[in-house]
Amino acid sequence: MMKKMIFTSSLMWSLTLFAQGKAEQALKIFEEKYPQEKIHLLFDKKSYVAGENLWFKSFIYTGYEPTSVSTSLFVELYDSNKTLLDKKMIPLLNGEGNGNFALPENMKENVYYIRAYTTWSTNFSEEFQAIRSVEVYNPSSPEKLMIDTASGWNVTLHPESGTFIDQINTKFAVRLHSKGQKPLNWKGYITELARPDVKLTSFKGFDENIGSFKLTPELGKKYQLTVEDDKGKKQTVDLPEVISAGINLQMESSPEAIKYSLVSKNMGTESQTYTILGTINDQIVYKAKLNTLSDKIYTIPTEKLVNGILQLSIFNEKDDLLLQRMCFIQPKHLQVKKAELSKISFNGASRSQNIFNITNSIDSPNYTVLVLNGDSKSTEDENSFLSTLLLTGDISTDLESPARYFRKDSDADALDAVLISEKWKRYDWKMIMAGSYPMIKNKTEPYISYKGKVTLSGKPAANTDLNLIFSMPDNGTKFYQIKTDQSGFFALHGLMFEDSIKFSYQLNDPKIPKEQVQVIFQPNYSYIPLRGALPRSYYTLQPRTPEDQTSPEVIKYTEAKNMYKVINEKATLIEEVKIIKQKKNLTKKLNDELSSLTFKNSNEVIFDFVNDINAGSYMNILDYLQGRVAGLQMQKQGFDVTATFRGAPISIFLDEMPASPSQISSLPSSDVAMIKVIRGYFVGGTGGNTNGAIAIYTKRGGVSGNIDNSSKPTNLKQITLKGYDKEIAFSNPDYSNESFKNISKDTRTVLYWNPFLEIQPKEPVKVEFYNNDETKDYRVIIIGYDSNSFLPVYYDNVLKP
C-alpha cells in the first residue's frame, strides 16, 4: 500500500527536486518510530434497552493497513459522569477484534460511552482513541432521553490556508458548532460593516456541519458574516482583518490531479525559495521548490496516490512553516472493493430462511457481516468504517455524521470545506523539526505478557530453571520451562488464552522444598484511565411522566430481549449443527492434545488429518498447504520445498522441534496427525521469530509436553493468571428446529451478526439467517480488506426479496 502512495515529482513544471531537508528528515523519523493507529468501532445496533447484550467489532489500522503494532485492545464502558462501569481486553488478529458488554437489567436510561484504545495509542493524544456514544433505554427508569434542541449553536470562520489578503479572491469555510442538535437548514451572507444592508455574497450550508463562500476583499474595509437558521435565529461573526501583503495557498481536487497555486501580493523583490511538501498520513508523497511566486497553477497527478487527505505545507528558506492546506484525493472515486453477493435467496415471509453467498474473488482473510431490518439504523450511519479510515481517524473533529462524506451521493465541496476548517493534529511540524517527539511511556507487548520474579528463601533465584505446569480446561496438563536472569526475573510473552489459566510451579531442582520457593507475577499490560472529557451528547434527560408512551423501537427491543431469554434457556441444536459442532470439537480436541501452550495462537489455521482430511496423495506434506493459507507460498527446488509467509521465511517445526524442509520431505503423509499454520508472533518462536510458523504434528509424536502423572501439579504451589475476556456467543433462532416453534413473537432488528466470518480458499462464503415476523427488506453490511492491496472492502445496501 505504501508503495502505491509514493509519487515522484518530475521536471514537467520546471520545479527543482532537492535533497532531503530538515522537515523531511524529521517526518521520516516520526513515520519510522511513531506509527499512528486509527480505531473504528462497529456495534450490532445503534441503541439498546437495559438487559441486552451490546456486541462490538473493532478495526485498528496504521495508515491504510491493518495494524502490526498492537495485538491487544482495551474496551471500556462509561456512564455520562465518566464512571467506569465495565472493561474488556480482547485479542487483535490482523488488526481486528470483537467482544460484547452485558448491559444490566437495572441500567438507567441515558447516554453511555464505549472507549477503545491500544497500549501504543496511549502514548499520543486521547483525541484519536475511539469514544462512541450509545443510547440505552429503560422504560422503568425515572428519566427519559430527549434530543437536545434547546442548546444554541455558534459559528467559526476559516479562510483557505489561513490568510485574507487585499485583492485576492479567498475561499472561506463556515463551521457550525453546538452542544445539542445543529440546524440542518441554514444560510449566510457577507456585508461590509459600513454598509450592513448590502449583501456582497450569499450561500447555503451544505449540511449541519459546514458551508462555504468566496470573497475578494479590499484593504481598509471590514466585513461581517451573518448566519441564520430555519427557525430565524441569527448570529454575526467578524471576518479577519484584511492584510496588505502575504501568500494564499489555493487547492482544488479533481479526478485527474490535485491543483494548487500560491497567489501572493506585495512580497517584495528579494529572491526567495519556497519548499512545498505534500504528505499523506506520515509519508511524503510530493516535494518541490519554487524560486518565484506567481499565479501559476501546478498539478499533482493522482493516478499513483491513494484516497485520503493530502496536506501541502509551504516552508521558506529558514525552514519556517508559512502555510498549510488539506484536501481530499479523488473524493468521488474511492478506491474501495465492493463485496459481490451471489445465489441470493430471500423470502419475505415470516420466519423464513434467507441465504446469500459472498463471491470469493477478493483475497481477504475474513469478513464482518451484519444483517438488519431494512429500515434499521446502524452506527455506520454516523461514523462509518470508511469515514474513520479516510477522515476522522486522522482529523479529531466535532462532525455530525461524517459518514455522509463517503456515500455515493456525497458532496465533494462539503468535504473540501471541512478540510479547510481543520488542522492536521497527528504531528506538529515545528515540534518534530525541533527534535521534540512523543514520549513513549507505555510500550506494547505481543498479546498477553506477564513479568515474574522467583525468590528462594526470600532471596532472588538467579539464573535458575523454573518449571511452569499449566492446567487448561479441556487441554490436559503441560509444562513450560523458563530461566530467570541474574536478579531472579523472567517474562512470559505472547500468551493467548481466554478467561484464566491455572498453573503450578517448581524449581528444576527437586531437592529444593517447595515451601522455600516463591513466584510473584505482574501483568505487563494495564488499563489506562481516561484523562479528558467524554464527547458531547445530543440528548438531555427529562423526568418521565405516567402519560409518556414507549417508542415502537424500544418496544421491539424489549420483546426481542425477552425472546433471546427463551432461546438461551430452551433452544437445542438441530442434528446437522450437532454434527458440525462435533467435527469442530474433535479438531479442537486434537489441537489441545498435540499443542503445548507456547504453540497456541488465536491467529492460526489448523488442518486436521485425523478427523477431516485425507492427504494420502501428497508426496511432500508441505505441498498440501499450497494455496490454502492466504499469504503462504511454497516454492519447489527439486525435491525440496521452501516456505514464505507474505514474502518472509517462515519457520518449520516437527512435533514442536525445529525442522528442515528435507526432514519434512521424507515424512509419510500417513504419519501426519495435524498441521498448524501460525501467522505472526508466538511464544514458541526461536530467535525472535515474529513471522509465524508451520507446525507439523505426527501420529507417533504424541502429545508434546504432556505430564504423565496428572495429579502431580496438585502437590505443588498454584497460581491463576487472567487472560482475554471471553465473548458471549451471538445466537439466533433456527426455525427449522421444532424447539423454536414456541416463540410467540419475533421482533429482532439484528437478523445476523458475525464479526469474524472466516474465508476458506476456493470455497463459497455462505450466510444463512431467518426472518423475524416483520422484516420485508434487508440491510446488509460487509466489511473487510484485500490482503494484497490492503484496499478496504465495504458493502452497505438494502436488499429486497
Domains and CATH numbers, the chain: 37-146 (2.60.40.1930), 448-528+712-722 (2.60.40), 597-698 (2.170.130.10)
CA–CA separation, 371 and 748 (whole Å): 11
In sequence order, the 6+-apart residues with CB closer than 8 A to the CB of 160 are: 170, 171, 172, 173, 248, 249, 250, 251, 325, 420
pLDDT at 708 over 60: no
φ/ψ region of 115 (left if φ > 0, alpha if ψ in -120 to 50, else beta) reads beta
CA separation, residue 26 to residues 287, 429, 433, 749 (Å):
15, 8, 5, 51
- Mean pLDDT computed over 601-624: 74
- In the structure, what pLDDT confidence band is assigned to residue 6 with cuts at 50, 70 and 90? very low
pLDDT at 629 over 60: yes
pLDDT at 710 over 50: no
The bridge status of strand 84-91 relative to strand 72-78 is antiparallel
Strand, coil or helix: 420: helix
Long-range contacts of 572-575, Cβ-Cβ distance < 8 Å, separation of 24 or more: 572/737, 572/739, 573/734, 573/737, 574/734, 574/736, 574/737
| Partner residues linked to 278 by β-bridges | 286, 312
- In the structure, what pLDDT confidence band is assigned to residue 44 with cuts at 50, 70 and 90? very high
pLDDT at 297 over 80: yes
Query: What per-residue confidence (pLDDT) applies to 580?
Result: 45
Query: What per-residue confidence (pLDDT) applies to 640?
Result: 63
**Cell numbers standing for residue 270:** 528579494
Helices then strands (H, E): number in the chain?
8, 48
pLDDT at 575 over 50: no
Query: What per-residue confidence (pLDDT) applies to 685?
Result: 65
Contact 484/461 with Cβ under 8 angstroms?
yes
Contact 37/62 with Cβ under 8 angstroms?
yes
Strand, coil or helix: 309: strand
* DSSP state, residue 218: -
| Partner residues linked to 191 by β-bridges | 224
pLDDT at 10 over 60: no
Query: What per-residue confidence (pLDDT) applies to 174?
Result: 98
Contact 180/147 with Cβ under 8 angstroms?
yes
Query: What per-residue confidence (pLDDT) applies to 359?
Result: 81
Rounded to 10 degrees, the C-alpha dihedral 698/702/704/705 comes to -170
- In the structure, what pLDDT confidence band is assigned to residue 638 with cuts at 50, 70 and 90? low
In sequence order, the 6+-apart residues with CB closer than 8 A to the CB of 9 are: 15, 17, 286, 287, 288, 300
CA–CA separation, 516 and 509 (whole Å): 12
Specify the pTM: 0.83
Q: Per-residue b/e over 91-111, b at no fewer than 16 CB within 10 Å?
A: bbbbbbbbbbbebeeebbbbb
CA–CA separation, 678 and 690 (whole Å): 10
CA–CA separation, 569 and 577 (whole Å): 18
Amino acid (one-letter) located at 638: G
Count of C-beta atoms within a 10 Å radius of residue 25: 12
- In the structure, what pLDDT confidence band is assigned to residue 57 with cuts at 50, 70 and 90? very high
Amino acid (one-letter) located at 696: I
pLDDT at 452 over 80: yes
Assign 3-state DSSP to the chain and report helix, strand, coil percentages, each to 5: 15, 40, 45
pLDDT at 790 over 80: yes
pLDDT at 226 over 90: yes
Sign of CA dihedral 198, 204, 208, 210: negative
| Partner residues linked to 321 by β-bridges | 315
Phi first, then psi, for residue 742 (nearest 5°) are: -85, 5
Contact 213/203 with Cβ under 8 angstroms?
yes
How many residues are recorded in the chain?
Answer: 801
- Mean pLDDT computed over 715-733: 81
pLDDT at 251 over 70: yes
Burial-class residue 268 by CB neighbours within 10 Å (0-12, 13-18, 19+): exposed
User: Within its chain, how far is the Cα of 90 from the centroid?
Assistant: 13
CA–CA separation, 418 and 798 (whole Å): 29
Which of 30-34, 199-203, 520-524 is predicted with the least confidence, judged by mean pLDDT? 520-524
Query: What per-residue confidence (pLDDT) applies to 7?
Result: 42
- Mean pLDDT computed over 403-413: 94
**Cell numbers standing for residue 25:** 528528515
CA–CA separation, 220 and 204 (whole Å): 27
- Average pLDDT in the chain: 85
Contact 596/665 with Cβ under 8 angstroms?
no
Query: What per-residue confidence (pLDDT) applies to 662?
Result: 67
CA–CA separation, 357 and 780 (whole Å): 12
Query: What per-residue confidence (pLDDT) applies to 780?
Result: 96
Strand, coil or helix: 182: coil
- In the structure, what pLDDT confidence band is assigned to residue 569 with cuts at 50, 70 and 90? low
Rounded to 10 degrees, the C-alpha dihedral 147/148/154/156 comes to -40
Amino acid (one-letter) located at 212: S
Query: What per-residue confidence (pLDDT) applies to 70?
Result: 94
Long-range contacts of 635-643, Cβ-Cβ distance < 8 Å, separation of 24 or more: 639/665, 640/665, 641/665, 643/694
Instruction: Choose the most confident range, by mean pLDDT, from 102-111, 481-490, 697-706, 779-788.
Output: 102-111
Count of C-beta atoms within a 10 Å radius of residue 665: 16
Considering only residues 728 and 134, tell me which one the structure prediction assigns the higher pLDDT. Answer: 134
Phi first, then psi, for residue 671 (nearest 5°) are: -90, -5
* DSSP state, residue 515: G
SS (H, E, C) 331-360: CCCCCCECCCEEEEECCCCCCCEEEEEECC
Q: pLDDT above 70 covers what percent of the chain?
A: 88
Query: What per-residue confidence (pLDDT) applies to 652?
Result: 87
| Partner residues linked to 360 by β-bridges | none
- Mean pLDDT computed over 762-769: 84
- Mean pLDDT computed over 34-61: 96
Contact 596/590 with Cβ under 8 angstroms?
no
In sequence order, the 6+-apart residues with CB closer than 8 A to the CB of 584 are: none
* DSSP state, residue 99: E
Query: What per-residue confidence (pLDDT) applies to 352?
Result: 92
Contact 675/692 with Cβ under 8 angstroms?
no
Contact 384/403 with Cβ under 8 angstroms?
yes
pLDDT at 157 over 80: yes
Contact 373/775 with Cβ under 8 angstroms?
yes
- Mean pLDDT computed over 774-801: 90
pLDDT at 166 over 90: yes
The bridge status of strand 693-698 relative to strand 651-654 is parallel
Query: What per-residue confidence (pLDDT) applies to 4?
Result: 41
326-352 residue pLDDT tens = 999 999 999 998 888 989 999 888 999
pLDDT at 573 over 50: no
Which of 168-172, 178-182, 291-295, 540-544 is predicted with the least confidence, judged by mean pLDDT? 291-295
259-291 residue pLDDT tens = 999 999 998 767 788 999 999 988 999 999 888
pLDDT at 81 over 60: yes
pLDDT at 474 over 70: no
Contact 594/696 with Cβ under 8 angstroms?
no
